[in-house]
Amino acid sequence: MREAYAAAEFSHAGRLYDEHAFSAQELPGDIVLMRARIALSSDPAAAVDVVLRERPRIDRPADRVAAEIVLGESFARLFEFSAADAHFERARFLADRRSFSQAAALSAARGRRYVLESRIGDAWRCYEATLVDRSLEGRIESERLKGEIHGAETRYGEHAESVMRLLALIGSEIDTHLTVWYPAVADLARLACELPAPNAARTAADALAARPAWPQDFATHRFVALRSLAWYKALAGDSLGSFRHLRDAGALAETLANAALRAIVLLDRAQLARDAGEENWCANELAAAGDQLHDFDWARAGAQERIALLLFAEVLAPTDPEGATAAVARFFKLERSTEPIATATRGMVHLASGRTREAVRDLQSAYDAFNRAGSDWRAGRAALALARATRIERWRLLALEKLEFYANSHLFAQAQAVALPPDPSDNATLTPMQERVFNMICEGLSTDAIAKRLGRSRSTVRNHLKLVFKALGVRSRAALVAKAARSGRFNEGESSHP
């Protein structure tokens, strides 16, 4: 079992343990902990059962501490935070005060527990506490926690930098840290897709090429990496490279016999076909994906599999808005997600269904979230949809700005091709007094300064300001100046003096 565990062949290691447990009177503590950690990744309740059943036989002090940490992490993943805290406190009581490694392991586990509860400040304090262990294993664990915290904060750039540092720390010691390396490569590929990050994409692609065979327990991580790199290639304008990665992802989905993952690849191909103007090809891929998902058991689906519902809804929306609405509703019933990707998809479906107000609400929320996170192409895509929904030029300009790095993509071409009617407020006529107030605002003068220059009261100036804002269709000074600069209504430094 130890050899299978070291090779990250967890399913095989688990079977070996289960077969041996029936005939063995007593199992070594480290073997029990291996079995519990295997269960922890997919079934934390089973991890609790393993440790509680065998805990009386775990006699080594270090193993007792590790057992309490595993129990704490398991209860945290079950969202039973009080029970988790009780076991973490017991681990702290049992830990050797001179052991930096035990202290750091406990702090890292507690940090992950706080991430799950969105207590980010507490998670950062735990990260600081992990820094006491300066061994290689300790530094890897610290960087891993740091990346998870950045992920919880949805800060893609910082998260990608942390994953790059984590892989650099592991270096050539991959075989010793497989359980960290496989998810890190998948994370890096996903982040490279979200960000304008060529170095991250190259690092992830090199890692996939150097180790083409991953254990079955990490096959879904490899699927995520391949699919992410496919979209990175598509956004770079490399259609051939994109379809090669999707081909490999599809082959992996076939090996796993997973209908949802097969559908995800088909839907990706359908979206890329539509972007290229190949509607018949898109329709064929969409129909094949629908066949895969027809009898799928969504109640037992994992988070990665449920993405198929969002993709299906988005590709289906232009031709079947009602079917797309049903798919989105099913996703939110299962996931109750506040992820911006889900919100953006719902906005796209609302737009296709003619519910413009709801579409604008969701798409603006998604744009703000993507913009904060640093996912420029998703923000640009949301802005492009908003330009089509609202017919406002500002959104088209924001789309072009966000998609500038992806100038070879179909998205950028679509943003360039959008034709919007001119904003009538760009040519709004102002009275002479309003024109003078307008120019002084563009100079940056305050209300008091304008009143003093015009020889008018503050209330009179405020009334003129309201009329100027209304005429130009803005709600703030900053928006007025931006609109004036964009439409060429003023040149910086010029104003009308009495």
pLDDT of residue 4: 58
pLDDT of residue 220: 92
- Tell me if 458 is assigned to some domain: yes
Whether 185 and 247 map to the same domain: the answer is yes
pLDDT of residue 14: 65
At 217-248, the pLDDT tens digits run: 889 999 999 999 999 999 999 999 999 999 99
Whether 184 and 251 map to the same domain: the answer is yes
pLDDT band at 352 (very low <50, low <70, confident <90, very high): very high
- Domain that residue 385 falls in: 338-417
At 127-181, the pLDDT tens digits run: 999 999 999 999 999 999 999 999 999 899 999 999 999 999 999 899 888 889 9
Domain boundary pick from 223, 257, 291: 257
Whether 245 and 271 map to the same domain: the answer is no
Identify the DSSP state of 421: -
% residues pLDDT > 90 (the chain): 58
DSSP assignment of 227-249: HHHHHHHHHTT-HHHHHHHHHHH
pLDDT of residue 430: 81
Identify the DSSP state of 418: -
The mean pLDDT of 69-77, rounded to a whole number, is 94
pLDDT of residue 426: 59
Who has greater pLDDT, 329 or 33? 329
**Mean pLDDT lowest for which of 57-61, 230-234, 402-406?**
57-61
CA-CA distance, 205 to 376, in Å (whole number)?
21
Which range scores top for mean pLDDT: 175-179, 190-194, 465-469, 471-475? 190-194
pLDDT of residue 468: 86
pLDDT band at 491 (very low <50, low <70, confident <90, very high): very low
- Tell me if 150 is assigned to some domain: no
- Helix (H, G, I), strand (E, B), or coil: what is residue 467? helix
DSSP assignment of 378-392: HHHHHHHHHHHHH--
- Tell me if 128 is assigned to some domain: no
Whether 245 and 210 map to the same domain: the answer is yes
CA-CA distance, 439 to 489, in Å (whole number)?
9
pLDDT of residue 493: 40
Whether 202 and 237 map to the same domain: the answer is yes
pLDDT band at 488 (very low <50, low <70, confident <90, very high): low
pLDDT of residue 492: 41
pLDDT of residue 299: 85
pLDDT band at 469 (very low <50, low <70, confident <90, very high): confident
- Tell me if 161 is assigned to some domain: no
Domain boundary pick from 417, 450, 468: 417
pLDDT of residue 21: 57
Whether 269 and 325 map to the same domain: the answer is yes
What total of structural domains would you count in the chain? 4
- Tell me if 479 is assigned to some domain: yes
pLDDT of residue 487: 63
Query: What interhelical angle do 303-316 and 279-293 show, nearest 10?
Result: 140
Whether 448 and 409 map to the same domain: the answer is no
Domain boundary pick from 231, 257, 283: 257
Q: How many residues does the chain have?
A: 498
Whether 233 and 268 map to the same domain: the answer is no
Whether 246 and 273 map to the same domain: the answer is no
The mean pLDDT of 484-493, rounded to a whole number, is 56
Whether 273 and 322 map to the same domain: the answer is yes
Whether 351 and 290 map to the same domain: the answer is no
- Tell me if 84 is assigned to some domain: no
- Tell me if 413 is assigned to some domain: yes
The mean pLDDT of 257-264, rounded to a whole number, is 95
- Tell me if 163 is assigned to some domain: no
Whether 268 and 212 map to the same domain: the answer is no
The Cα-based distances of 166 to 129, 147, 152, 183, 307 in angstroms read 18, 9, 17, 11, 27
CA-CA distance, 49 to 172, in Å (whole number)?
36
Average pLDDT for the chain? 87
